[in-house]
Structure 1
Amino acid sequence: APYLLDDMADDAAGLLDALGWESAHVVGASMGGMIAQSLAIRHPRRVRSLTSIMSTPSPHAAPPSEAAMAALMGPVSPDRETAIRQSLVTWEVIGSPGYPLDRERIARVAGLSYDRSYDPAGTARQLAGIIASGDRTPLLKDIEVPALVLHGEDDQLVPLAGGVATAGAIPGARLITFPGMGHDLPRPLWPEFVAAIDELTAVADG
């Protein structure tokens, strides 16, 4: 793998340095959750609280469904419009079956992402980085900051087992699961996410 999760965690610590922040409440979703876990492991003094969303401590703890993997690793799009259509197909598979799919927003973000930098090989590099980074479970047991784990009960890309494993590995972590939520953040659930994270940060700040 050209880079690991630890490398990206070190980048996050470097960003804190650049901002002049001694520490921060850290929230990460999906691969970002894995990076957040690595940041709390490698730079514990920089993390005031940890929220891991739809993530996992190990690629083997919650393997994706075949349909999700096929959608994620779909064919390379030859142009912008095809890339947008492919993104819609992907989110139809891995999104939240219990909530309406915001097709307009997905198409808009997919178009902006294509314009910024369309690099299909990046997905493969990220997947390689996740697999090569191995299992963080033993190291998560040393985390001492307040921790929260949020996970959808209908996630096909990182199944619920990943959230259960994360919460089980971090001492005192709180696990909240959401029926009908897949591998995205449905807008109707935003108030619940915000309330849970706000409660966590309040505890962390004492």
Structure 2
Amino acid sequence: MASPFLRPLPKPKRAIPHPLSVCEVLTAKSAARQMAAVIAALKIPALVIHGADDPVILAAHGEDTAQSIPGAELLIVPGLGHDFTESAGALYLKAIVDFVAKVEARERAGA
């Protein structure tokens, strides 16, 4: 007779997260809460650039970041993932140059 301890265990109905993954998620959530207060307190011009196709940090998080910074502007880049790519370099440069020019114009106008 086969021992019940040697039988394969049934597969769980849902994935059981690795303990390290759980710790990483909890740490990230804690850090995010702390950063939210810091971000909301920013009093400087800000341009948030985020990839629309970022699989690591979803575009919704970029939108949330921009909404959390008073007066921030948001640029969601279609087709861009998580990493800075050389092919998007010209787009980044134009967005930053345009943003700085807009900020400088507001400062000259006294706004």
TM-score bracket, normalised by the shorter chain, equals: 0.5 to 0.7
Tell me the equivalent position of 1:183.
82
Aligned partner of 1:158: which letter?
Answer: I
The CA distance in 1 between the partners of 2:104 and 2:36, in whole Å, is 22
Task: Give the structure 1 partner of residue 95 of structure 2.
Answer: 196
Q: For residues 44 and 104 of structure 2, what CA distance do their matches in structure 1 show? A: 7
Query: Does the CA contact (< 8 Å) of 1:146 and 1:204 recur in 2?
Result: no
1:133 aligns with 2:31: yes
RMSD, matched Cα: 2.8
Output the TM-score relative to the length of structure 2.
0.60
1:137 Cα deviation (Å)?
A: 2.5
Note the residue ranges of structure 1 that are not aligned, 5 or more in a row. Answer: 1-72, 74-125
* Equivalent residue for 1:142, pick from 41, 45, 65: 41
How far the C-alpha of 1:181 sits from its partner, in A, is 0.8
Measure the CA separation in 1 of the matches of 2:104 and 2:70: 14
Q: Which has the larger radius of gyration?
A: 2
Over residues 114-159 of structure 1, what are the superposed CA-to-partner deviations in whole Å (9 max), with x where a residue is unaligned? xxxxxxxxxxxx8776444241334422211100011111111001
The TM-score, its normalising length taken from structure 1, stands at 0.35
Q: How many residues align?
A: 83
TM-fit CA distance, 1:180: 1.1
Q: Which runs of 5+ in 2 are unaligned?
A: 1-20
- Shift of the 187–151 alpha-carbon distance from structure 1 to 2, 3 Å rule, reads same
Q: Residues of 2 paired with 1:129 and 1:204: CA distance? A: 38
